[in-house]
Amino acid sequence: MLQEMTSWTAMTKDELERQYSPRRWSHRMAADDVIKSHVKTLKEGTERARNLAQTLLNVPYGEGEGEKLDAYIPTTKSLDVPLVIYLHGGYWQFLSKEESGFMAVPLAEKGVVVVAVDYDIAPKGNMDLMVSQVRRSVVSVVQQYSHISGLYICGHSAGAHLAAMVLSTDWSQYSTVPQIKGAFLVSGIYDLLPILSTYVNDPLKMTEEVAIRNSPSKLIPQLKLSSSGCHIVVAVAENDSPEFRKQSEDYYKTLKSTGLNVTMEDVLNTDHFNIIEQLVDGNYHLTKLLMKMMGKS
């Protein structure tokens, strides 16, 4: 079981910032080193994927300069081709699709298309814009790849938040209704209110109103309406901070209580960073789980 902890409302600003600084909770290396290692690992994995799979790079999904995606396409004649959309982390202010193709290394070999999505990170982009962009990217992918056998979405950290916002979309405002079969939400934040007074919000400049309307935990009725047929996996690292772990547990419990198809994965021997880095490995627990979900195990 995940441990209980004090409500964030009772924490000092310093403690909140410590809880929401994932680099300070890794047992593998120093705080700055774990970030450098993370970026290096993701870049190397993405380079490997670009050498293994056919690629379509910088495909526009909108008119904005940052509204582009990369597709990693397997060499297969099969018509049974699942597609996974990956939304990168980086606290809505770092990283890009250039480090986000790594999971195509094992998936392309199994006949799975992987799409890595860019969005306008802060300070250029604000939270409302980023959420709008990833929603539109999903619509664009569905329109471009109408022959796929199943649509799946995976996000890490800030990307898990954005993926959860995609699941909570009112699709009546869009030109199509994506049928997302499965979602992997890895070490995400589902309630944005705790980070309002932390360093994380400095470039985002979210108000309480913005945080509430972009918190997946506040949008459960819409998620149930839009994504009732989706199998949702909420994954958290053993060495994520207690507050990150609580975010995942609370979101999982809320989804479960409404009757949604959701499972919780508490991944042993991982921290906030290598829980996602290891998706480059076909034998990794979460990779095998994703493949099983897609019928590719």
Beta strand pairing call for 113-117 and 68-73: antiparallel
**Predicted confidence band of residue 6 (pLDDT cuts 50, 70, 90):** low
Q: Is residue 139 scored above 70 in pLDDT? A: yes
Q: What is the pLDDT of residues 143-164, one digit of tens each?
A: 988 788 899 999 999 999 999 9
The pTM is what?
A: 0.95
92 in the Ramachandran plot: left (φ > 0), alpha (ψ -120 to 50) or beta? Answer: left
- The pLDDT assigned to 4 comes to 43
Element (H, E) at 211: helix 208-213
Q: How confident is residue 3, by pLDDT bands cut at 50, 70 and 90?
A: very low
Other beta carbons within 10 Å of 32? 9
Where do the domains of the chain lie, and which CATH numbers do they carry? 8-293 (3.40.50.1820)
User: In Å, how far are 95, 120, 133 from 62, measured between CA atoms?
Assistant: 20, 12, 8
pLDDT tens digits along 110-134? 999 999 999 999 999 999 999 999 9
Q: 58-104, pLDDT tens digit by residue? A: 999 999 999 999 999 998 777 679 999 999 999 999 999 999 999 99
Compute the distance between CA of residue 201 and CA of residue 181 in angstroms, rounded to an integer. 32
Which has the closest alpha carbon to 274: 16, 34, 6, 61?
A: 34
User: Mean pLDDT over residues 277-282, rounded?
Assistant: 96
Instruction: Give me the active site residues, please.
Output: 157, 240, 272
Question: Residue 216: is the preceding peptide bond cis (ω within 30°)?
Answer: no
